[in-house]
Amino acid sequence: MRTIRYGFFGEDEAQRLFLHHYLTALSNNSVYLFESDESFGLVGGNKSQVDNRFVEACEIGLIRHRQQCFFVGRDLDDYAPEAFREKITDMQERLRQRSVSAILLVPIQCIEHWLLYLQWRESNPQTNKNVSLETIPRKEAKIKLYGKPKPPLSLALPIVEEIAATLDIDWLASRSLSFLAFHKQVEAYLASLLPETAA
């Protein structure tokens, strides 16, 4: 199994924890093992800080820390498909201008919407109904998950941990456009490693 050391720069710990569980689930069916660079201590804190610093954070991670892969987490705070496309295009162009690359974790609205899908599936295991949860207002999504709109980390992170641990990648990719876009970036990154592995 090949280890891939990765860095993360995003808005919050919920994104980081979700990413950890996603990469763990991915590694279970792969020849790759993703390992977080724990020495990399940059955290955005909010969308403006992420927008202002993600390219620099990516450069620091990939160049100074010699990470093989870098993830940027940024809540969209919108549910319009065109807003999603515009944000991804803008971020990718800014990375391209500095000749660095990152995998963009940009949930429609916020990470809690991906978690809501997983929670819904856990509560409805026998149904194939395709529900749309990404138009639920952010505040309401957080209340549904945590019981309050601005929960302390001590309340939120155990809930994120429990829900994200049940992650079924293929199922969530079939439900959420933004998760599918994220997952396809990871698949493209892993596919780019294949010639190197075969050599």
Instruction: Transcribe 59-125 into DSSP letters.
Output: HIIIIIS--SEEEEE-------HHHHHHHHHHHHHHHHHTT---EEE--SS-HHHHHHHHHHHHH-T
pLDDT value of residue 195: 65
Residues making up the chain, counted from first to last:
199
Q: What is the CA radius of gyration of the chain?
A: 16
What pLDDT, on a 0 to 100 scale, did the predictor assign at position 44?
A: 74
In this prediction, residue 188 has a pLDDT band, given cuts at 50, 70 and 90, of very high
pLDDT in tens, 145-184: 999 999 999 999 999 999 999 899 999 999 999 999 999 9
Query: Encoding tokens for residue 115?
Result: 């978690």
Q: Kindly list the domain boundaries of the chain, sorted by start residue.
A: 2-198
pTM: 0.92
The confidence band for 39, taking pLDDT boundaries of 50, 70 and 90, is confident
Q: Can you tell me the distance from the alpha carbon of 37 to that of 89, in angstroms, rounded to the nearest whole number?
A: 27
- Cβ-based neighbour number of residue 2 at 10 Å: 11
Per-residue pLDDT at 42: 67
13-33 confidence digits (pLDDT tens): 999 999 999 999 998 878 899
Does residue 199 have a pLDDT over 50? no
The residue whose two tokens read 């995003």 is: 10
Beta-carbon count within 10 A of 172 CB: 20
Task: Look up tokens 């940027």; give the residue.
Answer: 72
